[in-house]
Amino acid sequence: MAWMTAQEAIELTGVRAQTLYAYVSRGKVRCKRDGKDPRRSLYHRDDVVRMAGRPRGQRNAQAIAGETLEWGAPVLPSAVSTVQDGRLWYRGLDAVELARGSQLEDVARLLWDADAAPGMAGTRARAAPARDEAGAVHLGLVAMATRAAADLPTHGRAAAALKDEARAVLATLAGAMFGTRVLRAGGTISEQVAAAWERPRAEPAIRQALCLMADHELNASTFAARVAISTGASLAAGVLSGLATLTGPLHGRAPMALKAWMDAAAGADMEAEVRERLRLGQGFPAFGHPLYPEGDPRAAALLDSLAVPAAYRHLARQVERLVGESPNIDFALAVLADVHDLPPHAPLALFAMGRCVGWLAHALEQAGSGHLIRPRARYVGPPPEAGHAGPRRKNKTPRRGEGSSVMHARGASPEALVSRR
């Protein structure tokens, strides 16, 4: 099971109850109320096992720094968004509440700390995207790569100029992924998406989903975007980095994995399906989230606005009962696509379009800091050979036959320059 009692956690870690509670308060161990007894709490087994493996006593700075990159403490200061007390906050405002009546453009204005919301005016008309799995995201990758090859770097530019460019980058991505030929003048991004998919009745749910996906602090794709921008790269290059990272199966494709499972298990006994996946150790796509031990509020909000099919409801009940995990936002995106008969790539496309706002917000913040993100590696390979550990020769006269290679290393080979960094 994914959760254990306090006594089980104490016995496994060998610490006192007060220490276990301190782990929870510091975000090291996820905790939630026991559904069978609200006076008790349950603790996530993976977190408890990880804490049990730590050596007693003070840990060194290297160990602490290493943990920050794996669901650990924050690694960068940011004012864009945070997850606290089981809620997602956009610059101090509840994201779920904002998504009830806001457009993605309104959220962009908030997260970018801009004077005006970005509009789609001037976006080129394009054909609606293909309906295959790659679909809109493929077109978005091409559009961002094209801009990244031509746009100015962010380094040394004023915030106002970058915010203007952010509006253009967002419009470019929307135009590439969803087209504007069928959109009335002045329409919103959510209307553009619904029109591209010829599903106007889905627009309210699409609008809400886009707003809920706008940002989620330092997730993998956002961190990738910030790393790119920290080098001075263009805003489009930052979005391209985030978009490429999002396409990985461990980040943006969980809704498609869930849909494939649902299709394969159509008509089957869901309880038996869940038990079999547990027996095989296959995991449950679109369920659970380390930052939301009580359940993903984004998923709850979006599912409340949808007529969830019986098969999804039954699956959710069985996973919650047998595994102890609730549906997350990936589950809700899969349901949205199913309810409104959207293309197979729709969940990933909605994820990308909404999250572009957050990538740009973090890009603007990172560009303003002027800092290069460059972590060190904790080397675990074979030890360097002793014979090559000494200092280099200081003799400036190359030995016979060395001249051409020295000149090559000094400037003729980009690969050689890269190897020195």
Sorted by sequence, the CB contacts under 8 Å of residue 373 that are 6+ apart come out as 76, 226, 227, 230, 366
**Catalytic one of 330, 338, 345, 362:** 330
At 88 the three-state DSSP class reads: strand
Q: What is the pLDDT of residues 52-80, one digit of tens each?
A: 876 543 455 555 555 566 666 667 889 99
Is residue 408 predicted with pLDDT exceeding 50?
no
Closest CA to 76 of 264, 235, 196, 227: 227
d(CA 180, CA 201): 18
Closest CA to 100 of 301, 367, 307: 301
Q: Span 42-52, mean pLDDT?
A: 85
Q: Span 371-393, mean pLDDT?
A: 77
Closest CA to 213 of 403, 378, 352: 352
Q: Which is more confident, 47 or 146?
A: 146
Q: Which is more confident, 316 or 19?
A: 316
Residue 115 annotated in active site: no
Question: Which residue carries 């001249």 as its tokens?
Answer: 403
pLDDT of residue 159: 95
pLDDT of residue 392: 56
pLDDT of residue 65: 59
pLDDT of residue 335: 97
The 93-94 sheet, strands edge to edge: 81-84, 87-90, 93-94
pLDDT of residue 61: 53
Is residue 210 predicted with pLDDT exceeding 70?
yes
pLDDT of residue 121: 53
Is residue 410 predicted with pLDDT exceeding 90?
no
pLDDT of residue 387: 57
Q: pTM of the full predicted structure?
A: 0.77
Question: Which residue carries 């720094």 as its tokens?
Answer: 65
Mean pLDDT of the chain: 84
Tokens at 230, concatenated: 């920290």
- Of the listed ranges 12-26, 156-170, 175-189, 210-224, the one predicted with least confidence: 175-189
pLDDT of residue 66: 58
Q: Span 89-118, mean pLDDT?
A: 95
Task: Give the pLDDT band (50/70/90) at residue 361.
Answer: very high
82 backbone dihedrals φ, ψ, rounded to 5°: -155, 160
Residue 340 annotated in active site: no
Is residue 420 predicted with pLDDT exceeding 50?
no
Task: Give the pLDDT band (50/70/90) at residue 33.
Answer: confident
Task: Give the pLDDT band (50/70/90) at residue 379.
Answer: confident
d(CA 338, CA 358): 26
**Catalytic one of 138, 289, 345, 362:** 289
